[in-house]
Structure 1
Amino acid sequence: MLVFYQVAYAVLLAGISATLLVGRKTDNFAAVVNGAASLALALSPIAVEFGLGVGMGVDVTFGQALPLWLALAGFLHMVGMLGWYDSVWWWDHLTHTVSAGLVAALVFAGLHTLVRHSPNVQLSAAYIAVFTLLFTLGIGVLWEFVELVAREVGERIGHPPVLHHYGLRDTALDLLFDCVGALLVIALDIRTFVPVTEQRPELVEPVLVALVIGIVGGSIVLALLVAVEQRE
């Protein structure tokens, strides 16, 4: 199984790199930016492990599943950026389901770790399910605002935006499939990342609180930016 993860991860990294090169050769600025971001995100668990271990002496292991899932989400997104978002009607739904599933799986694991290692915290299965769904939906809303801001910035500087926003109907469908990704994690009881969150259980609660504040605050700020830009 370890070999499978390693081979699949290497193939996906190669795929992201290839799409980045295609974007560079075709002068697709958005594909280049998204390719670089996708590659950095896919490599981030390895970089963080190395940085914490060497720089701070903190032993943290993210395992094989997290880098692989990040690489898969990045690769699917990059294929979409090269044209499949426009030519394959269900591709955007697939990428949102996979990406939202990753977010949901991390939150789901964190909540189960919190319950297991914090005797004073009592969370029912229903609460964990609802919180996971709402958190994932919140991330989805924040992402939609990011797309809107990217569009507004692109229009202001006279440059194609690095992210595309296709209107309210597309936003509604994106959020729907964000929910699908979260519900699949909940229904299948996917606890793949519990070994990761259990390495530092004391950090789960403050991290979740900080993320919720960041999601709400970020969404409000971006919504205000869009509103101001559209009034000008």
Structure 2
Amino acid sequence: MRVRERLGISEHRQQQLTRVMELCLVGIFFVGVDRGNLGIMINSALAFAVTLTPAVLKRDYGIPMDAGLTLWITTAVFLHAVGTLGPYQNVWWWDHLTHLLSASLVAGVGYATVRALDSHYTDVYLPPRFMFVFILMFVVAFGVIWEVTEFAVSGLASIVGGSAVLTQFGLDDTMLDLVFDTAGGLVTALWGTAYLTDVTGALAARLDARMQGSE
């Protein structure tokens, strides 16, 4: 039984929660406009764009994105945008929570893509144990790239005298971020892959159709 079924959250309720967070993201954008804070505006706008991705994937590419997956994605980017309003600076665990959720999404993307390739190519076989390790390594690698990007953006902002869109809070915080990134990948590796079965199947089918069309 899936987590949302255990919690008794209906599909309609999940959709409602997603819409509420999308509206809140629009509100956060205008808070950024009112404060003249470019970081808030950019992060909320990008977060809102990400919330539209499931609908685009479903409409244009036939990738099944159910209400639970959409809510998962929306929650991760919504909490990140909320963090730019102050919780990142004032709530010690907020950054760790967002890294945990974001890492679980990154792990999901990596898993779905590689599993689809595994299903599509008959001469490729990826054992379950390899997939488990791959998910963790993929998330850690992405986390390192993200931390380097944060450092570069913060450094550039200090040089040009502007406000940083992404902020790094020191080496200790970076190491903790990577720990929570790994935890997020672990969550997906242990429990999240079951939610991605339909997605991986659709991706593999699309690869098969493209291969047949090119012959």
TM-score, with structure 2 as normaliser: 0.83
2:119, 2:204 within 8 Å by CA — same for their partners in 1?
no
SS of the aligned residue for 2:195 comes to coil
1:47 match: secondary structure: helix
Gaps (5+ residues) in structure 2? 1-9, 208-215
Q: Is the 8 A contact 1:42 1:67 kept in 2?
A: yes
Contact 2:104 2:184 in 1 (8 A): yes
Partner of 2:24: 15
User: Equivalent residues in 2 for 1:57-206 (5 A)?
Assistant: 58-188=61-191, 190-201=193-204
Partners of 2:152 and 2:73 in 1: CA distance:
24
C-alpha displacement at 1:178, in angstroms?
A: 0.2
SS in 2 for 1:79: helix
Shift of 1:12: 1.3
Relative to structure 1, is the Cα distance of residues 187 and 61 closer, same or farther in structure 2, using a 3 angstrom cutoff?
closer
The CA deviation at 1:202 is 6.4
**Number of matched pairs:** 198
The answer for unaligned runs of 5 or more in structure 1 is: 53-57, 205-232
CA offsets 1:59-117 (integer angstroms, 9 cap, x no match): 44433333322211111111111110111111110000000011112323344444444
Instruction: Report how far residue 198 of structure 1 moved.
Output: 1.3
* Matched-pair contact (CA < 8 Å) for 1:97–1:180: yes
Q: Please name the residue that 2:40 is paired with.
A: 31
Q: 1:61 to 1:190 in 2, by over 3 A?
A: closer
Asked if 2 retains the 8 angstrom alpha-carbon contact of 1:113 and 1:194, the reply is: no
- CA, structure 1 residues 200+105, in 2 after alignment: closer, same or farther (shift >3 Å)? closer
What TM-score, normalized to structure 1? 0.77
Deviates more, 1:86-95 or 1:186-195: 186-195
Q: CA–CA distance in 1 between the matches of 2:103 and 2:63?
A: 24
Aligned-pair RMSD on alpha carbons? 2.0
**Seq. identity, %:** 33
Contact (CA 8 Å) 2:103, 2:182: kept in 1 or not?
yes
